[in-house]
């Protein structure tokens, strides 16, 4: 059985590291490269950096920042934000990045998933799915950093993304993101059960028990952490940190 991965997710906006609550209320955290250096020292196994700069989809990836991150990062690194074409992915991989994360472009042109995975392998492609629950309880997929509603069901879209060649799905609950209130276990379970590829659960982690619950009850293959790894505790100041790996994996046995 593969070890459950616990992955820090860093959000970048206009070159600065930030943290959001439900994709809103941006709080400045620090410098992305300095934060990567700290995670190097903490011996994190993997890292994801998502650029949520307004209009990033139209502007394309920030290749200068990507090059700086690649130079600093000693662990496998995934980059998302503004990837719209095979050429974008090619430039990111050429910088030394191991994975690309695609969201809006994957929905607007699903063949992009196949194009990238055909050239670089499915293990190099993470399809990110942002989900928000509506007034009547239905979960729908959102794009453009959660601003644009689609009519897509997250389970249906996740299965389609897998069919097109995604190696992993990163599932984010917009309603839980940054709240410290725990994962949406029902949502995670519904998507995880439909897939044969790894699912990274993201949005809501507030303590170690939340990590255990989303793996054991939700069925996720990996867990992505945001607030927990950049703040001391909920409502407290910035402190880049990472839970003790031995403790986490002991709890997951």
Closest CA to 252 of 219, 206, 205: 219
Rounded to an integer, what distance in angstroms lies between the CA atom of residue 176 and that of residue 185?
11
Contact 129, 172 (CB under 8 A): yes
- Say which of 62, 130, 184, 210 is annotated catalytic: 130
User: Which residues contact residue 163 at a Cβ distance below 8 angstroms, ignoring those fewer than 6 apart?
Assistant: none
Rounded to an integer, what distance in angstroms lies between the CA atom of residue 226 and that of residue 54?
20
Work out the number of other CB atoms within 10 angstroms of the CB of residue 223: 27
111 classed as catalytic: no
Torsion of the alpha carbons at 189, 190, 196 and 201, rounded to the nearest 10: -50
Rounded to an integer, what distance in angstroms lies between the CA atom of residue 100 and that of residue 106?
12
For residue 165, give Cα distances in angstroms to 114, 128, 182, 191.
5, 13, 30, 16
Residues annotated as part of the active site: 130
């Amino acid at each position: 059985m593969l070890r459950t991965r616990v992955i820090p997710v860093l959000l970048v906006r206009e070159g600065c590291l930030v943290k959001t609550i439900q994709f809103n209320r941006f709080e400045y955290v620090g410098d992305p490269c300095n934060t990567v250096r700290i995670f190097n020292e903490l011996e994190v196994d993997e890292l994801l950096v998502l650029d949520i700069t307004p209009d990033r989809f139209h502007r394309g990836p920030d290749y200068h920042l990507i090059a700086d991150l690649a130079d600093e990062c000693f662990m496998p690194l995934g980059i998302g934000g503004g990837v719209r074409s095979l050429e974008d992915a090619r430039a990111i991989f050429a910088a030394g990045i191991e994975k690309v994360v695609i969201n809006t472009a994957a929905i607007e042109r699903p063949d992009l998933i196949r194009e990238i995975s055909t050239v670089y392998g499915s293990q190099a492609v993470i399809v990110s799915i942002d989900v928000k629950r509506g007034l009547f309880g239905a979960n729908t997929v959102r794009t453009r950093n959660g601003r644009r509603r689609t009519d897509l069901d997250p389970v249906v879209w996740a299965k389609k993304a897998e069919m097109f060649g995604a190696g992993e799905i990163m599932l984010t609950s917009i309603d839980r993101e940054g709240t410290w209130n725990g994962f949406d276990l029902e949502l995670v379970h519904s998507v995880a059960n439909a897939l044969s590829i790894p699912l990274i659960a993201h949005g809501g982690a507030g303590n170690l028990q939340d990590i255990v619950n989303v793996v054991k009850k939700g069925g996720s293959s990996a867990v992505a952490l945001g607030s927990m790894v950049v703040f001391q505790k909920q409502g407290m100041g910035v402190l880049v940190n990472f839970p003790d790996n031995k403790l986490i994996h002991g709890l997951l046995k």
